[in-house]
Structure 1
Amino acid sequence: MSYLQFPRLAFSGLFQADVSTVNNDPRHFDIDHFDSSFQEFQSNSASGGTTFNGWWNPVGTGIFRFHECATQSISTQAGQTQTKASQDPAIGLTVGNAMGRASGKLVDLDPDWQNASCLYGLGVTLINANGHVIMSADYASNPFRDLWFTRANSAGDMGASAMFQSVLTNVIWNLDGIQSPFFDQLIAATEQDMLSIRLTTYGYNMNAKAPLFGYGTVLGVIGAAKASQPRSFILGRRFTPTTQNAAMDLVSSNGIGCFSAQIDSTNSSLHVDLSNALPLAKGYVVQDLGPMQFALLKNPLTAQDDVINAEDYIALAAVDQSQELQLQQGGIQSVPLPTSINEDLHNHPLAILSAPDANGKMLVSVRENLLGLEVRADTFAFRLDPNDPHKNHAQSTFYAACYGIPMPNAALGFWVSGPALDYANTPVSAPPGTTPKALLPVNNVPDNAIRFSPARPVTDAEGKVQVQLHGPEEMQTPREYIDGQLYTISYNFAGNDPALQQTYDKLAAVVFTKIAPCPSPTWEDIYPILKQYANLYPIMSQGLLDFSKKEQADANAFILHFVFDKHIDDPDQMPVTRDLSSAKRTMLIRYFQQIIDSQGMPKNAMDMFGKRCPTRGGGGLAQAHQQSAATCPNLPGKSRGPNN
């Protein structure tokens, strides 16, 4: 089961993504060519050109949170949709963030790969009108998928739309006094005490002068999670347009993007997730494409944009293009399926057809992938670290299916992209003299840096296979001013029948630079790291403390030690971008520990920061201090063991 099946709960509202954009341009990482103008908002000249400076939000904090979100409907185990609180107290709840800790953070994998931004430290709560927290949980860190830039009639990110799908862990229910048949069904349907969640985000406001600057629309759905299903996508009936527009989006001729559906044999239903599929008109409302219907094609080779007759398909239901479906039901339409087509469902494609013309002919607007093929990786963004053998490999489970049925014995292949300059994130400013002077980074070099095992994986009886990515033992700085290197890797079936994939459905891996251990770091050792972050995050270096200045960094050694030593899933971890190798992190922690040892711990440290350490349990600051000493054995005052 997943969010797409029954039972499920839908909510909608706003999200805030206060991302910092100085680091959007990789050339800003070059401290030798950094200019103070890169910390300013972009500006437009009278002639119409743009001076990008620090792009559209240089003062961003990185936070991601829900705003004015509420549950709008529930769909019961039997498939009944309810929209009134009088029907079930699960309706009308506030969907909020974690209680008593910082907001989650939205983080790009790398400045050269901003197409898999990940949520870290996001908490999800359901709260009733009395302030009673009915449910609290943690969003398991995972990036968005199915990003496309032309869904709305707006330029760049304002026209973009994407989906986050993951699971909620550490789920805590507090249903005392709450009589909700729906929650009883949801809890009974879950496995491993996890819930499935999907967030679709669009309509992002990039206008710094607008009241809702940094906000957008979010459509959320929560359902039961099943251990056998992938966490980050729906393994089912995959619809991928065969045509690509100028923005590299795969879009049908009438503007429909990629989406997934799933057949629920228990309820004889087809569940279709249209939350990220239908084009948007002005005001980010669903564009009216005229009457359309779901259908089962009788000829498996009928192509997108083919014109067919009534005898060529079996009509299933009208496509619901209403704004109500989006906001009230999370963009999910459930279609009853006649039992007469059960056998054909396993080997015939589903499609969306446009309205018939005067001669009764229908246009195939978009259809299921050719031969019903789908192959996707559950984990698709990686950080590999040659400085730590335990962090220099990663694992992902790959799933293969044909018309939604798992494919056993399917061979997969991988193809690392060739050397590429990052033109997408390095625009030319107007006037040209304001364009950053740093050279453009080249990705995917040196080649053969990442190894896969098995090299030619084959799916098991359940249509899945686990694959390990191994980083190299050595990595220099091929991008010069950015740590390590970015590799983008395509994957698909190894045979002659590949599955059509969404534009950014690739693996992306960052391999950190390997550096020599530094048992007793000096200011000169850590200055380049801190200077780079001070440049990239003016909200911190200008609004909090300039940690690129030794006197300020040393005076706040305890704070910096505290945030650099946090777990990657902690919302307070520094750096926000999670782009610091273990060797550099250890070096920073050691340096600030040396300063703490020479200065002593601030008397009010526990009161100031102990409560901002949610991932360390009740130990707070003292526990953080002990853990740092345990993981950094070469700190002054600690004896060296035989393995150090």
Structure 2
Amino acid sequence: MSYLSYPRINFYGRFFTDPSTVNNDPTHYEVDNTVPSPWQNPKGLHKFQLQDCSIVSTIGKDGEIQDPILGLPFITTDKPSAAKIADIDVYQQGVPTIYGMEVSIPISDSISLTGLIDPAVLNQLWWVSVLATRSWQDADYQMDSFGGDMNASGVYQSILRVPFSSWPSDEVSPVLKELKARTLQENGNYLVSIRFVVDGYRNVPEDKQYQTGRITGSLGPVFANEPLYSPGVRILNGRTQDKSDPWHYPMFNNCPFTIDKERKLLIMDLANGICRKNAGGPPVDLGTLTALIKPEHSDPILIGEVDYLEYCFNTYSHIVQLPLSEDQITVLNSSALSLKISRTDIGPSEIFVEDIKPVNIEIEVRPIRIEGSPGSVATTKVYVSRLGKPVSGKKLGVQILSVHGNTPGATVPPSNPGNTPQAFGAIDASVTETDSLGFATVSIVVLKDPGFRTPQLDGQLYFINLYDTDFPVPSSVSQSAMISCLVWSDYKVKKNPKWEDVQDILAPYVKLFPGMTEKINLIDFKSFEIFAKNPPWVHMYGPDTPPSHGISAGAIGFFMTRDENDPRYMPVTRDLSKAKRDTVLNFIFNLQKGTATGPNNQES
């Protein structure tokens, strides 16, 4: 909720990212597939960086204000390395996570607001955010028709942690002064809510904006007792999507909104909700867009006209504020919100409407990785609300799906089965009753080894759906209410592994990530040995770099012992289990001692 409050700092520009997609095809994980299709950008390094971003507006308690930070750059620092973006699994490419993203507003040569963003997960991804050129049918997959990265849009929400020492003095900016006064503090940091929407990604090498897309975002305060990585507010549902609709009927996605009772405002976030005319372009023409309240037993109540135009998207991150009367607030507290268009030739006029009957379910951390040994446990929080208020004493239902090709939400064709017989019943999940603040804890426990899908595709992916038990089990749930859980196979750490053991573990990365292999061929023993022993950490990474896993030298060991949220962590895709990683590190430790079993069982 907090980024919808005040003060709000809006930024706009472009982003760069270069993920390799060789690992997007399950058939590439077959051992016999030694020369996989390059797909797009095979040598990509999974960087995520801001380009040409700047502060475009600042919003205070009473509306837009002029502030000295207006027009300043909003940048990624690339420290200690460029942020990285990675999917959780080949069968789930809809929740990519950005790790180690440090951002900054440089105010002068010596003053900046700089902080590190908690791992940010894509949410509310939709692939039809661009008006089709011919139809919405799957068969008509074209540049601006159904499907494709250019036609996708999604939202990231996370927390920016700014050290006390990095916050500029109060004289620098009235907006930053107010933000500091209103936001939470934790462990020597000011917490800032950050939300950004990405769309229009250009993945065609001939495009002059290749590997970049559009980004619009907002910074705001963090308040106590609210979710950190989800809006935690009311939701407008986009008009029902039907691929059989005529090509000129635009589609719509879900949008969060809140009521600021203190300032008597309706605040709506439309940035990820309205279909665009073209990839990364302006919203489609809707005529006049109007907000109304829909009381259950009386006529709709007009609130006012909603600004949906491109200027609002570019300048205010498409966060719209409308004044409310006391009477309107009273009615809206128990009634649905609706947005209608004046055009009658592009489908039903009601393009957004709130469903106030079921509770709103928002899981805080939605991608989860867990070791596959029986008894392993992972947890996350879920926030439950209705009409913008936390719901206490609520018990949610839990549905566990072992993912295969035709599982709803899977990102591969049904021809790929994606699971093994032992995957069924390998995990259990439960959720506690919500507390007085609307929060509950989801626990996932491993019951048995889930196996592996191929020798090079470790573990099993599960979708864990949460739902309101007052209604039938849904055929699909909102992305916000679904956990994507990758459970590794039950691999026993080898204390004295052979070189062949290490080769088996690292072979998929050599095949699937050519960009990394260009730097280090991890299954060539001589290359591995050189970079497993060199350089000394004290010389390359600084005298304050402590040994880890008994290792204090070697680039491979250094990068494999970084924290998973560190952008230098290897493998960058973060799809290597801890047990297998520890096995590789044990080999490096033995190699440095001269006791490792190298090629052909020779001691090295």
TM-score range, shorter chain: 0.7 to 0.9
Say how many residue pairs are matched: 550
State the match for 1:354 in structure 2: 341
CA contact (8 A) 1:417 1:488 kept: yes
| Pick aligned residue for 1:92 from 68, 71, 88 | 71
State the match for 1:441 in structure 2: 418
Q: What is the CA distance between 1:315 and its match in structure 2?
A: 1.1
- Indicate whether 1:106 and 2:90 are aligned: no
Q: What is the CA distance between 1:547 and its match in structure 2?
A: 1.4
CA contact (8 A) 1:444 1:485 kept: no
State the match for 1:225 in structure 2: 222
CA–CA separation in structure 1 for the residues paired with 2:170 and 2:62: 25
CA–CA separation in structure 2 for the residues paired with 1:357 and 1:408: 42
- Indicate whether 1:215 and 2:212 are aligned: yes
| Pick aligned residue for 1:371 from 357, 360, 365 | 357
CA–CA separation in structure 1 for the residues paired with 2:191 and 2:403: 41
State the match for 1:80 in structure 2: 63
CA–CA separation in structure 2 for the residues paired with 1:185 and 1:252: 45
State the match for 1:318 in structure 2: 305
- Indicate whether 1:586 and 2:576 are aligned: no
| Pick aligned residue for 1:547 from 514, 522, 526 | 522
Q: What is the CA distance between 1:342 and its match in structure 2?
A: 2.4
Q: Relative to 1, partners in 2 of residues 1:259 and 1:61: Cα closer, same or farther, differing over 3 Å?
A: same
Equivalent residues in 2 for 1:78-477, closer than 5 Å? 78-82=61-65, 87-98=66-77, 100-128=79-107, 130-153=108-131, 154=144, 155-172=147-164, 173-176=166-169, 178-192=171-185, 193-241=190-238, 243-246=240-243, 254-282=250-278, 284-299=281-296, 312-355=299-342, 363-371=349-357, 373-387=359-373, 392-417=376-401, 420-421=404-405, 425-426=411-412, 440-442=417-419, 446-454=423-431, 457-477=432-452
Equivalent residues in 2 for 1:524-535, closer than 5 Å? 524-535=500-511
State the match for 2:33 in structure 1: 33
Partner-residue secondary structure (3-state), 1:206: coil
CA contact (8 A) 1:387 1:583 kept: no
State the match for 1:513 in structure 2: 489
Partner-residue secondary structure (3-state), 1:417: strand
CA–CA separation in structure 1 for the residues paired with 2:460 and 2:248: 35
Equivalent residues in 2 for 1:37-52, closer than 5 Å? 38=36
CA contact (8 A) 1:89 1:178 kept: no
Partner-residue secondary structure (3-state), 2:238: coil
CA contact (8 A) 1:121 1:138 kept: yes
CA–CA separation in structure 2 for the residues paired with 1:458 and 1:405: 16
Structure 2 counterpart of 1:180, which letter? Answer: S
Q: Relative to 1, partners in 2 of residues 1:198 and 1:419: Cα closer, same or farther, differing over 3 Å?
A: closer
Q: What is the CA distance between 1:364 and its match in structure 2?
A: 2.4
Q: Relative to 1, partners in 2 of residues 1:414 and 1:439: Cα closer, same or farther, differing over 3 Å?
A: closer
State which drifts further: 491-500 or 581-590.
Answer: 491-500
Q: What is the CA distance between 1:472 and its match in structure 2?
A: 2.9
CA–CA separation in structure 1 for the residues paired with 2:34 and 2:416: 12
Give the TM-score of the pair, scaled to structure 1. Answer: 0.80
CA–CA separation in structure 1 for the residues paired with 2:423 and 2:290: 50
Deviations 1:408-451 (A, max 9, x none): 222200111256236965569xxxxxxxxx96523796222222
Q: What is the CA distance between 1:131 and its match in structure 2?
A: 3.8
CA contact (8 A) 2:308 2:318 kept: no
CA contact (8 A) 2:194 2:220 kept: yes
State the match for 1:43 in structure 2: none
CA–CA separation in structure 2 for the residues paired with 1:177 and 1:224: 16
Q: What is the CA distance between 1:505 and its match in structure 2?
A: 4.3
State the match for 1:575 in structure 2: 571
Q: What is the CA distance between 1:122 and its match in structure 2?
A: 0.7
Q: What is the CA distance between 1:4 and its match in structure 2?
A: 1.1
Q: What is the CA distance between 1:406 and its match in structure 2?
A: 1.6
Q: Relative to 1, partners in 2 of residues 1:132 and 1:152: Cα closer, same or farther, differing over 3 Å?
A: farther
- Indicate whether 1:597 and 2:593 are aligned: yes
CA contact (8 A) 1:395 1:469 kept: yes
Equivalent residues in 2 for 1:602-641, closer than 5 Å? none
CA–CA separation in structure 2 for the residues paired with 1:252 and 1:509: 38
Q: What is the CA distance between 1:211 and its match in structure 2?
A: 2.2
**Unmatched runs of 5 consecutive residues or more in structure 2:** 132-143, 533-553, 597-602
CA contact (8 A) 1:426 1:440 kept: no
State which drifts further: 443-452 or 134-143.
Answer: 443-452
Structure 2 counterpart of 1:374, which letter? Answer: N
CA–CA separation in structure 2 for the residues paired with 1:494 and 1:372: 9
CA contact (8 A) 1:69 1:96 kept: yes
- Indicate whether 1:64 and 2:42 are aligned: no
CA–CA separation in structure 2 for the residues paired with 1:399 and 1:443: 33
Q: Relative to 1, partners in 2 of residues 1:114 and 1:356: Cα closer, same or farther, differing over 3 Å?
A: closer
CA contact (8 A) 1:151 1:161 kept: yes
CA RMSD, Structure 1 to Structure 2 (Å): 2.8
CA contact (8 A) 2:456 2:508 kept: no
Q: Relative to 1, partners in 2 of residues 1:440 and 1:375: Cα closer, same or farther, differing over 3 Å?
A: closer
Q: Relative to 1, partners in 2 of residues 1:357 and 1:161: Cα closer, same or farther, differing over 3 Å?
A: closer
Q: Relative to 1, partners in 2 of residues 1:357 and 1:205: Cα closer, same or farther, differing over 3 Å?
A: closer
CA contact (8 A) 2:377 2:444 kept: yes
Q: Relative to 1, partners in 2 of residues 1:133 and 1:496: Cα closer, same or farther, differing over 3 Å?
A: same
CA–CA separation in structure 1 for the residues paired with 2:380 and 2:199: 28
CA–CA separation in structure 2 for the residues paired with 1:121 and 1:381: 16
Structure 1 counterpart of 2:176, which letter? Answer: F
State which drifts further: 282-291 or 324-333.
Answer: 282-291
Q: Relative to 1, partners in 2 of residues 1:515 and 1:356: Cα closer, same or farther, differing over 3 Å?
A: closer
CA–CA separation in structure 2 for the residues paired with 1:549 and 1:242: 54
Give the TM-score of the pair, scaled to structure 2. Answer: 0.85
CA contact (8 A) 2:23 2:90 kept: yes
Q: Relative to 1, partners in 2 of residues 1:131 and 1:440: Cα closer, same or farther, differing over 3 Å?
A: farther
Q: What is the CA distance between 1:474 and its match in structure 2?
A: 2.9
Partner-residue secondary structure (3-state), 1:194: strand
